[in-house]
Amino acid sequence: MPDKTEWPSPRAPRFEQPEKGKKTLPLPLEKKKIMVSIEGLTVEFGGFTLLDGLSFVVNRKDRIALVGKNGAGKSTLLKILAGMQQPTRGTVSIPRDTTVGYLPQQMQLSDTRSVREETEQAFAHIHATETEIERVNRELSERTDYESEGFRKLIDRMTWLTEQFQMMGGTNYHAELERTLFGLGFTRDDLERPTAEFSGGWRMRIELAKLLLQRPDVLLLDEPTNHLDIESIQWLETFMATSANAVILVSHDRAFINNTTHRTLEIELGHIYDYKVNYDEYVALRRERREQQLRAYENQQKMLADTEAFIERFRYKATKAVQVQSRIKQLAKVERIEVDEEDHAMLHLKFPPAPRSGSYPVTVESLSKRYGDHLVFADVTFTIHRGDKVAFVGKNGEGKSTLVKCIMGEITDYGGTLQLGHNVRTGYFAQNQAQLLNEQKTVFETVDDVAQGDIRMKIRDILGAFMFGGEASDKKVGVLSGGERSRLAMIRLLLEPVNLLILDEPTNHLDMRSKDVLKEALREFDGTLIVVSHDREFLDGLVDKVYEFGNKRVREHLGGIYEFLEHRKIETLQELERKAQTVSVPAATTAQPESVSAGMPDAKPQAARSYEEQKERARRLRKLEKAVADAEQEIMTLEDEIATLETRMATPEGAADTTLYTEHGRLKTTLSEAMDRWTEASEALSEASDS
């Protein structure tokens, strides 16, 4: 692989989160530049071909969704592009000046630094340049041969280093670092905490922050949303829309890939299919393509059959000899239509019948939980009835998983009462369930370890239903993809009948088809279900009650997920999370003015007040919309100017012109200020639209 020095682009990233009503800034038109070229790429394991002759190119500003079933080779392809794995055959061409950044599903993380110190590793090149500037400065102050050639070269070196330092943003990277970490959900108090105090999911966010701050030319992301709450996902969407260059993304979050990509690469049965559209359009086009192929294939087969019948019928008639020979020649020239091979392997999932439990499987009264001085939640009271299917939603850190652990008995030092009903048998799927599997054991051994009784005679059948049939059952757990591990962990959950099923982010690592199958199986499950998830599409039609976690409280909402959203008069869970962070006004203080006003004899009629309020709101919205539009226009103009300037700086003459560097720094500062104004105006517009 070519040299990939991880230096950031001179252009500063943006780190604001989109809100309702915000517009996504259009990017300036740029010439296509090939960043990655893949030709005839083949990957074989033993006698099995995983990827067969893949060829495609990745252009600058391409936003690509890499899709396919679990085990299709998506993560393998990303590792090859990142230079971490070599293909069996084929070539991967990356220009020498192109940097590649890769975020894997799992990684070994350091625990020796604080959050800020660990994130600052992304700016190691800046620290190295700063150290070199100090060394050269020290040498200049010690030397006295001012007229010598060596002293002049040293001054030139100092000038170049200083310009490079300014270009890399050496004076303002701290602000970029903080904005990135805040966008990913960290608070200011978290910055000085050791990384060892954070869970694996939060440490993955640190690695993601480091990667984004490096600003690679090609960004490879493998399931980046698995450990993010909806607020952080929305922030990442904005970053990718406004600041990223080429992106190749593996994700099973349909909403996320629809919002961030405009090109879809499908890997199926070792082959790749390229669609220049987002995921939803790709699904429709794939269906249309196959239907057209089938119609054309059927028509051709009928034509071929008719021609062959004619040949056989008149083959030995002298009067038809010329026509028969003509038909034979036509038949030989026909280019046969092939229908794309389709992967029909499907997950077959059915939960065993649930033993009957008491009428109230979970009863919670005045429950509270603290970690030292930190209050997670307080005064939580609710009852889950037999057969209920409920969702726990809310921002990360609000206590969803903590409450689940209380129900499971993993946490016992809580206040209040929590009682499980009669004959409750609990099944629990944790977020890290797939990572807890023994990587040295085979798939069969993993299941055999927990199987008891007659079920051991059916292990092979069960594995086949979960797409682990044949030789796949003899694979080591360590070579399985994230989705395959999740399926294996799900098998372990199904081996014993339960009547209270608790799933904590069960869709992480599952492909689209497997998610649909799991959802259908859960809908048919005749026990009680508690599911913790940020996936609105997965929760839709599955749950009939929603528990909202926020502001140290848990609120109950009857109905499905979208009924809950409609009730709260919001469109996304992200907006819910944003509103949960605002300081709520006590009910007593809000009720008092209303009651007082109602009792005033000269109170303004409600209709008049409403009209005046509407007039004022419309005027404020027009003003805010104009401010957003003006800021967008200014940003586009500045980005064009910066792009033109960077083109000049890339020439030998421009590189020697120090005024260009000064002008570049000024434009970057102006752009940052304009982006801040756009963000403030957009947030104000969003809040005004919601009010």
Name the one residue in this structure whose structure tokens are 């959203």: 565
> Is the pLDDT reported for residue 343 higher than 70?
no
Backbone angles phi, psi at 110, to 5 degrees: -80, 145
Q: Which residue has the higher pLDDT, 367 or 315?
A: 367
400 close to 392: Cβ distance less than 8 angstroms: yes
Between strands 500-504 and 528-532, the pairing is: parallel
Report the pLDDT averaged over residues 341-352.
60
**What's the predicted TM-score (pTM) here?**
0.55
Calpha distance 492→41 (Å, rounded): 36
Q: How far is residue 253's CA from residue 576's CA, in Å, rounded to a whole number?
A: 19
Q: Where does the pLDDT of residue 581 fall: very low under 50, low under 70, confident under 90, or very high at 90 and above? A: low
Q: Band the pLDDT of 593: cuts 50, 70, 90.
A: very low
pLDDT one-digit tens code per residue, 152-165: 888 888 888 777 77
pLDDT of res. 577 = 54
- Main-chain dihedrals φ then ψ at residue 545, nearest 5 degrees: -155, 140
| pLDDT exceeds 90 at position 122 | no
Q: What is the pLDDT of residue 580?
A: 52
pLDDT of residue 467: 67
Could you tell me the two tokens for 472? 């796949």
315: tokens are 């083959």
Q: Confidence band (pLDDT; 50, 70, 90) for 530?
A: very high
pLDDT interval class at 97 (50, 70, 90): confident
Give the residue among 493, 502, 492, 486 at the shortest CA–CA distance from 408. Answer: 502
Candidates 440, 378, 443, 388; CA nearest to 414 is 378
pLDDT reported for residue 500 = 92
Res. 591: pLDDT tops 50: no
Contact 508, 483 (CB under 8 A): no
The values of phi and psi at residue 368, to 5°, are -145, 155
If one compares 335 and 590, the residue with the highest pLDDT of the two is 335
The per-residue DSSP string of 22-71 comes to PPPPPPPP----EEEEEEEEEEEETTEEEEEEEEEEEETT-EEEEE-STT
Tokens describing residue 309 = 């019948």
The number of residues in the chain equals 691
Which amino acid type is present at position 293? Q
Residues 325, 286: Cα–Cα separation, whole Å: 39
% the chain with pLDDT above 90: 8
Whole-number pLDDT of residue 347: 54
Q: Is the pLDDT of residue 6 over 70?
A: no
Examine the pLDDT at 264 and tell me if it is beyond 60.
Answer: yes
Pick the range with the lowest mean pLDDT from 269-273, 278-282, 458-462.
458-462
Mind listing the pLDDT tens digit for each residue in 430-487? 766 656 677 788 888 877 777 666 666 767 777 776 667 677 777 887 777 766 777 7
pLDDT tier, 19 (very low <50, low <70, confident <90, very high otherwise):
very low
Given a contact cutoff of 8 angstroms between Cβ atoms, the answer to whether 225 and 8 are in contact is no
C-beta separation of 71 from 475 below 8 A: no
Q: Give the pLDDT mean for 585-589.
A: 39
Q: In percent, how much of the chain has pLDDT > 70?
A: 78
What does the pLDDT read at residue 487? 76
CA separation for the pair 40, 537 (Å, rounded): 37
In contact, 552 and 377? CB cutoff 8 Å:
yes
Q: Which one is predicted more confidently, 253 or 86?
A: 86
Q: Indicate the pLDDT class of residue 389, thresholds 50, 70 and 90.
A: very high
Give pLDDT tens digits for 556-574: 888 888 788 677 655 444 5
Do the strands 34-45 and 48-59 form a parallel or antiparallel pair, or are they unpaired?
Answer: antiparallel
pLDDT confidence band for 106 (50 / 70 / 90): low
pLDDT at residue number 362: 93
* Mean pLDDT lowest among 104-118, 145-159, 376-390: 104-118
Kindly indicate the confidence band of residue 614, based on its pLDDT and cuts at 50, 70 and 90.
low
**Is the pLDDT confidence value at 35 over 80?**
yes
Q: Which of 4-13, 289-298, 433-442 has the highest mean pLDDT?
A: 289-298
* pLDDT of 528 higher than 90: yes
> Is pLDDT larger for residue 657 or for residue 366?
366
Is the pLDDT at 363 greater than 90? The verdict is yes
Start-to-end CA distance of the chain, whole Å, equals 54
337 close to 296: Cβ distance less than 8 angstroms:
yes
Say what the pLDDT of residue 418 is. Answer: 92
What is the average per-residue pLDDT within 629-657?
78
Average pLDDT, the chain: 76
Q: What residue spans of 184-266 are helical by DSSP H?
A: 200-214, 230-242, 254-260
